[in-house]
Amino acid sequence: MTTVQNTIARIEVAEEHRKSESLTTKALRRLRKDKLTLMAMAVILVLVALAALAPVIEGQLGVSYTQVQTESRFLPFGSFPNILGTDDLGRDHLARLLYGGRVSLSIAFFAAMLSIVIGVSLGMITGYYGGIIDDVVNWFISTLNSIPQLFLLLIISALFIRTTTDSGVFPLILVLGLLGWTGTTRLVRGETLSLREREYVVAARAMGANPLRIMFVHILPNLFSVIIITLMIDLGSLIIAEATLSFLGLGVKPPEPTWGNMLQSARDYFNRGVHLVIMPGLLIFITVLCLYVIGDGLRDAFDPTAKE
Amino acid sequence: MIKYTLRRLFQAIPTFFGITILSYLLLWFAPGDPVSLLTFSPSTTPADRERLAARLGVNDPITVQYLRWLAGDDWMRIDDDGDNISDRCFILPCDADGDGVNEPPGERYGIIRGDFGRSFTRPRNVIDLIAERIPATLELGAISLMLGLVVGVPTGIFAAVRKGSGFDNFTRVSSVVFSAVPIFWLGLILILLFGRVLFPNLSPNPFMLGGQCPPVLIGGCPPLQGRLLYIFLPAFVLAAQVIAVYSRFMRASMLDVIGQDYMRTAHSKGLSRRTVWFRHGARNALIPLATFLGPAITGLLGGAVLTETIFSWPGLGRLGFESVIQQDYPMVMAFVIIGSLATIVGYILSDILYALIDPRIRFD
């Protein structure tokens, strides 16, 4: 009799425990079952690892991403040792893709970080304080958003990046990061507006916590899911933005390879080097696709209204 | 309703001024000055330079320059007796260079009166150059938007009605695929596919050529039938993402509507499923689509830059891109202002349309 009751009690405790599971735990459990998202994460990890290992791979294959070799221009796929062939200057295509990936991925990563930091701080401040700061920031955002985004990027890049003497990686990160925060700000502001009225925030305020503490200790952790989802989508759009600018000749300058500027030079060699058109774009496409899939997967996993 | 429209228009004024200030500052801080841009010829004497600087007014304070650009200078220096020497002056001194003779009267009307000045690189007025490119972009944009609506909306509705079906999964995957593919690469691949792989012997190959002919709306060379071949690829590339976004949006909106009580009521009254879905469901699911008009205009203008550059389409996007590359400041400014105005108008139209379609939205 007692054992049965013990068992029942234990089940009840277990159920109670399961119910009180935090949203993050629940999300992680859901994510483990989401094969598609996991696969996309794996692909991204592989791509990042390959890009990081670019010098090693280059060394092992005995090829070079900078060495110009006029006698072996436009080698097709499957040559040796240039597995993916060579480009218009005889440089190894695979090595250039890997090094290009390094540049493209780091630009997207650092620009995303910059825009997230700006977006989240401004979003929390405007959402928490409201009033005149909120009005001014909102006015600024709607002004910035009224200018067609790509056009603004083009102009700023043309004016500022083209005049730098180096490859233009650092200014590009700044430009992309400083222009990309508006969406995050709006999102975070909305979340903060509702979080501000929660009991625990009111309680913290009643106990005399200062606004900075409330924002960082009580509001920020609750924005985690929003931030991580935005980060994934942002990374995807930033990779496209970088590629677009570099493709148009307004981003990273050759000889520094990125997936975008590799396509720019490939466009002139439609006849002799079709492989040069296909691969960089394919890598951009796969990376962005995976990031969007991860973003969607995370959104579903963190959705508090979703049923098990 | 009229009050609501007026209020929205009124609200747009600060945004518009924000844009003018922002874009003016941007170019002010830009490296390189217009005078040296215009006088790269080594035979230009310093005196010529001075005269050009005076004519462009680059030595005036930034506020005066901004004001001149915004509202013109025909009211700053007025010539009363027709001797080409200004007699009455506001803001600006009549005799700026101190030679004892008053300067000629102002001749600019400012952007708020449609005077964007003259292009640096082409010997014509900016506004004329832009106006003659509008039809080509309008043609491309309208067809893409239409494709987006005609393909995207029904796709989204059917996907929602048949949630979980093969069709639903297929469209969901393709919509993610098309939002992830860089459109310039899609354009290149399609040119490759149609020009080299599918029709390698066509000469001239309309898919490869892109817009070698002026568009129909301004009396282009091939008749409409032939024109369709030329516009096929650029319109598809531009429409691909519109279709992806619209179908995803419609699916979500339709799923939301399907869960509503009135849908269950309609079902339980014994109405046919088709009536319930399309008369009660789709019509309500379409309402939020009105909010997409504003973003659509920005998106199409941005996409036009890439699509037109790749397909050599003689439209606004390509002109804008060329102006940016050539640092043709008056053109660039005009593009920013006109593009932003189009966006603002798009957003206002969205709001008004939304309020018109959905009686639950109140105007005040």
pLDDT in tens, B21-32: 988 888 777 766
* C-alpha dihedral (A141, A145, A147, A149), degrees to nearest 10: 120
The reported pLDDT for the residue numbered A113 is: 96
List the structure tokens of B67.
């004001």
* C-alpha dihedral (B284, B290, B291, B293), degrees to nearest 10: 160
Contacts of residue A250 in chain B, CB cutoff 8 Å? 324-325
Min Cα distance B195 → chain A (Å) is 11
List the structure tokens of B205.
């190959």
Min Cα distance A40 → chain B (Å) is 13
Q: Which residue of A has its CA nearest to B13?
A: A143
| Residue A164 contacts B, CB cutoff 8 Å | no
Q: Would you tell me how many other CB atoms lie within 10 Å of the CB of residue A175?
A: 24
Contacts of residue B172 in chain A, CB cutoff 8 Å? none
High-pLDDT (> 70) share of chain A, %? 89
User: What are phi and psi for residue B314, nearest 5 degrees?
Assistant: -80, 60
Residue of B324, B336, B347 to mutate, interface with A, max A Cβ within 10 Å: B324
pLDDT band at A281 (very low <50, low <70, confident <90, very high): very high
Q: Are A74 and A273 in contact (CB under 8 A)?
A: yes
Residue A202 per-residue DSSP state: H
**pLDDT averaged per 10 residues in sequence order, chain B, 364 residues:** 84 88 82 65 72 70 84 80 78 72 78 83 87 87 89 92 88 89 89 76 55 45 58 87 89 89 89 86 85 79 85 85 86 89 87 80 60
The reported pLDDT for the residue numbered A77 is: 73
Q: Which residue of A has its CA nearest to B20?
A: A143
| Residue A62 contacts B, CB cutoff 8 Å | no
Residue A23 has pLDDT above 60, yes or no: yes
Q: Give the 3-state DSSP-derived string for chain B, with helices as H, strands as E and coil as C.
A: CHHHHHHHHHHHHHHHHHHHHHHHHHHHHCCCCHHHHHCCCCCCCHHHHHHHHHHHCCCCCHHHHHHHHHHCCCCCEECCCCCCCCCEECCCCCCCCCCCCCCCCCCCCCHHHCCCCECCCCCCEHHHHHHHHHHHHHHHHHHHHHHHHHHHHHHHHHHHHCCCCHHHHHHHHHHHHHHHCCHHHHHHHHHHHHHHHHCCCCCCCHHHHCCCCCCHHHCCCCCHHHHHHHHHHHHHHHHHHHHHHHHHHHHHHHHHHHCCHHHHHHHHCCCCHHHHHHHHHHHHHCHHHHHHHHHHHHHHHHHHHHHHHHCCCCCHHHHHHHHHHCCCHHHHHHHHHHHHHHHHHHHHHHHHHHHHHCCCCCCC
| Residue A247 contacts B, CB cutoff 8 Å | yes
Could you give the CA distance from residue A95 to residue A69 in angstroms, rounded to a whole number? 14
The reported pLDDT for the residue numbered A10 is: 65
- Partnered with residue B89 across adjacent β-strands are B77
List the structure tokens of B107.
């001749």
Q: Are B314 and B1 in contact (CB under 8 A)?
A: no
Query: Is the backbone of residue B67 left (phi > 0), alpha (psi -120 to 50) or beta?
Result: alpha
Tens digit of each residue's pLDDT (9 = 90 or more) over A222-266: 898 899 999 999 999 999 999 999 998 888 888 888 999 888 877
Residue of B185, B191, B307, B336 to mutate, interface with A, max A Cβ within 10 Å: B185
Residue A148 per-residue DSSP state: -
Q: Which residue of B has its CA nearest to A144?
A: B19
The mean pLDDT of A156-171, rounded to a whole number, is 79
Q: Which residues, in sequence order, are CB contacts of B113 under 8 Å at separation 6+?
A: B71, B72
pLDDT band at A112 (very low <50, low <70, confident <90, very high): very high
Chain-centroid distance, C-alpha A235: 2
Residue A289 has pLDDT above 90, yes or no: yes
Q: Which amino acid is at B132?
A: E
Min Cα distance B336 → chain A (Å) is 6
Contacts of residue B27 in chain A, CB cutoff 8 Å? 159
Could you give the CA distance from residue A282 to residue B353 in angstroms, rounded to a whole number? 40
Residue A58 has pLDDT above 60, yes or no: yes
| Residue B320 contacts A, CB cutoff 8 Å | yes
Could you give the CA distance from residue A7 to residue B317 in angstroms, rounded to a whole number? 72
Min Cα distance B171 → chain A (Å) is 14
Q: Would you tell me how many other CB atoms lie within 10 Å of the CB of residue B75?
A: 15
Could you give the CA distance from residue A263 to residue A213 in angstroms, rounded to a whole number? 48
ipTM above 0.95, yes or no: no
Contacts of residue A285 in chain B, CB cutoff 8 Å? 180-182, 185
The mean pLDDT of A160-168, rounded to a whole number, is 74
Contacts of residue A280 in chain B, CB cutoff 8 Å? 185
- Name the residue among B18, B302, B303 with its Cβ closest to that of A143: B18
Q: Are A26 and A303 in contact (CB under 8 A)?
A: no
| Residue A77 contacts B, CB cutoff 8 Å | no
Count of CA atoms in the C-beta half-sphere (13 A) of B256: 12
Interface contact A144-B22, CB threshold 8 A: yes
Q: Which residue of A has its CA nearest to B346?
A: A146
Contacts of residue A150 in chain B, CB cutoff 8 Å? 302-303, 305-306
User: What are phi and psi for residue B89, nearest 5 degrees?
Assistant: -135, 140
The 8 Å CB, 24+ separation contacts for B8-13 are B8/B348, B8/B351, B8/B352, B9/B348, B12/B344, B12/B348
pTM over 0.90, yes/no? no
Residue A90 has pLDDT above 80, yes or no: no
- Name the residue among A151, A163, A277 with its Cβ closest to that of B339: A151
Could you give the CA distance from residue B186 to residue B61 in angstroms, rounded to a whole number? 47
- Partnered with residue B78 across adjacent β-strands are B88
| Residue A89 contacts B, CB cutoff 8 Å | no
- Name the residue among B22, B321, B347 with its Cβ closest to that of A154: B321
Alpha-carbon distances of A94 from A33, A245, A258, B56, rounded to whole Å: 34, 22, 12, 51
